[in-house]
Chains A and B, each alone.
Chain A
Amino acid sequence: DAKTTQPTSMDCAEGRAANLPCNHSTISGNEYVYWYRQIHSQGPQYIIHGLKNNETNEMASLIITEDRKSSTLILPHATLRDTAVYYCIVRAQGGYQKVTFGTGTKLQVIP
């Protein structure tokens, strides 16, 4: 799997957009970008994934740069319940690849 780099921590004011960056400069053409989050002591939760087009679902938006070397997860209106560790992972479709989690970004939403 390509290596990803994320900031260790970020703060965001409640109600504002949270923009979480991820660098994956060695990403291969067949690798997707996946985002998960882990709210304190709970099981991780899948958020969104994409290949090269921007993606949006009910939880978040994913913006992938044209060269695919970085991406940004956007939580449009952060709430206190969005406080969590956010993990960016790159992984190819098909075949077996174990999913490894790095240290992620600790997002603190502030009232």
Chain B
Amino acid sequence: NAGVMQNPRHLVRRRGQEARLRCSPMKGHSHVYWYRQLPEEGLKFMVYLQKENIIDESGMPKERFSAEFPKEGPSILRIQQVVRGDSAAYFCASSWATGSGANVLTFGAGSRLTVL
């Protein structure tokens, strides 16, 4: 039973390009969370999604960032026109929808974005 899979693990982009980060949740998990961690800083909540729905995007920057979790396939965090300040580790987590495990998040290994 594979855990939360994130890819790519490392991504290098030049300023102005687009970055797409993918997250496949654990089998049976229907909730996905995205977090950003800047170098030497803590985890910052970005967005929470269920299948085909964005539930809470209060942590997402207003521009250039978007997230989706389609009915089929992985969740995608998309960053358009990247800037150097977007360089960070982006972590995805998933959880069960209900029950006692609903609040236990399983994290992926992260995707590290470097903007040149």
Q: Contact residues of A with B, CB < 8 Å?
A: 32, 34, 36, 38, 41-46, 49, 91, 93-94, 96-104
Contact = CB atoms under 8 A, between A and B. Distances in A.
A46 B42 contact: no
Contacts of A49: 103-104
B48 to A, nearest CB: 6
Contact of A96 (B55, B89, B110): B55
B81 to A, nearest CB: 27
Give the interface size class of chain B: 20 to 34
Interface in B94-111: 98, 100, 102-110
Interface of B: 4, 33, 35, 42-43, 45, 48, 55-56, 58-59, 89, 91, 93, 98, 100, 102-110
Nearest to B3: A43
Contacts of B98: 94
Contacts of B59: 98
B77 to A, nearest CB: 15
A36 B45 CA distance: 15
A46 B110 CA distance: 15
A18 B98 CA distance: 33
A32 B99 CA distance: 13
Contact of B91 (A34, A43, A94): A43
A99 B103 contact: yes
B106 A99 contact: no
Of A43, A45, A93, which is in contact with the most chain B CB atoms at under 10 Å from its CB?
A43
19 contacts: A32-B103, A34-B104, A42-B110, A43-B93, A45-B107, A46-B105, A46-B106, A91-B103, A94-B102, A96-B48, A96-B56, A98-B45, A98-B58, A99-B33, A99-B93, A99-B103, A99-B105, A101-B45, A102-B42
A110 B58 CA distance: 39
A100 B45 contact: yes
A44 B45 contact: no
Nearest to A89: B103
A41 B89 contact: yes
Nearest to B35: A101
Nearest to A96: B55
